[in-house]
Amino acid sequence: MRLYHFSENGQIGRFIPRPVKVPAERAAAAKDRPGWERREMKRFIGVVVLAVAVAALVFLFGESTGSTNGSPPRLLAGIASAFPDAVFYRDTTEKVVALTVDDVPWAGDAGDAAMHLILDTIAEHNEGTADPALKVRATFFVISGQLADGSTILDRIRQQGHEIGNHGDADGTAAMLPANTFAQQLRASAERLAGFTNQPIRWYRPGRGLFTRAMVESLRGMQGYEPRFALASMLPIDTFRPADDPRFTAWYVRQHVFPGAILVLHGGSLRQSGQTAEALKMILSDLRQRGYRVVTLSELWGPG
């Protein structure tokens, strides 16, 4: 397993976690609060568990387990074979990946400031790229129930050449819903998105990446939708602290890049979207240096 960090100019070196500096007065005040030792122990255990989980994920799904010709990791290929009702990657030798962003927009963010951070970052990366085929394009999986009335953020997404996907009408685990409830919510989210975009939506991604046989049947009944769930080539951990550090996210994503990979990051709150925007600066720079094109899921997958 190779460890990297990204410098301010986007160059890659070894990844070395940097300690967080806490002012002495804050540290002293924290120690005076009841239960301080217990909280610190729980935090330490959480960090250790997360570190072990990250190491396991990179070992099982990361680039070190792929073959020398840039094929997907063997375990991922096995999972894709076992779950044919989902899309995990595209089998190709071309250096191209799909960038997907989940959990957008953020409820209560009337001006969609969080989303603009991510879109601005991609737009800045695309500046100076004359060839339209080399411009970064992403698929944004939208939670329809979090769209504010009158929001124009989906218009901007489309104007920049990105794609809109369906992430349900609420941020939750759809696989836990009764079959009829999921079917109703799927139709409702599809109708709301169609009302905002006035165009067909192709992809649905279930919350937490989990689905049931009943959900498969409901999806197959949706006109215009791909009859398979849009999953990814990696298990995202960018919403968990301390793994949400942009430098760590950039390193972690790098471990899952191969021709045909589907990458996933998260929008959401202003803080989360800001972290993602910072990580994208490093991720996109690295992918460009490695000769990868970054496209929407539909561009990667091809015609339906």
Look at residue 67 in the predicted model and tell me its pLDDT. Answer: 39
Amino acid code (one letter) for 209: G
Look at residue 120 in the predicted model and tell me its pLDDT. Answer: 98
Amino acid code (one letter) for 85: D
The mean pLDDT values, 10 residues at a time, for the chain of 304 residues are 46 46 48 56 58 62 51 92 98 97 93 97 95 96 94 96 97 96 97 92 97 98 97 95 94 96 97 98 98 98 88
How far is residue 216 from each of residues 183, 219, 230, 231, 246, measured CA to CA in Å? 10, 5, 12, 13, 34
* DSSP per-residue string spanning the chain: ----EE-TTS-EE---PPPPP--HHHHHHHHHSTTHHHHHHHHHHHHHHHHHHHHHHHHHHSGGGS-TT-PPPHHHHHHHHH-TTEE-B---SSSEEEEEEEEES-TT-TT-HHHHHHHHHHHHHHTT---GGGS--EEEEE-GGGPPTT--HHHHHHHTT-EEEE--SSSS-GGGS-HHHHHHHHHHHHHHHHHHHSS----B--GGG---HHHHHHHHTSTTS-SSEE--SS---TTSTTTT-HHHHHHHHHTT--TTBEEEEE--SHHHHHHHHHHHHHHHHHHHHTT-EEE-HHHHH---
> Per the confidence metrics, is the pTM higher than 0.95?
no
Look at residue 60 in the predicted model and tell me its pLDDT. Answer: 62
Look at residue 34 in the predicted model and tell me its pLDDT. Answer: 57
Look at residue 15 in the predicted model and tell me its pLDDT. Answer: 47
Look at residue 199 in the predicted model and tell me its pLDDT. Answer: 86
Look at residue 108 in the predicted model and tell me its pLDDT. Answer: 85
User: What CATH number labels 5-12+45-301?
Assistant: 3.20.20.370
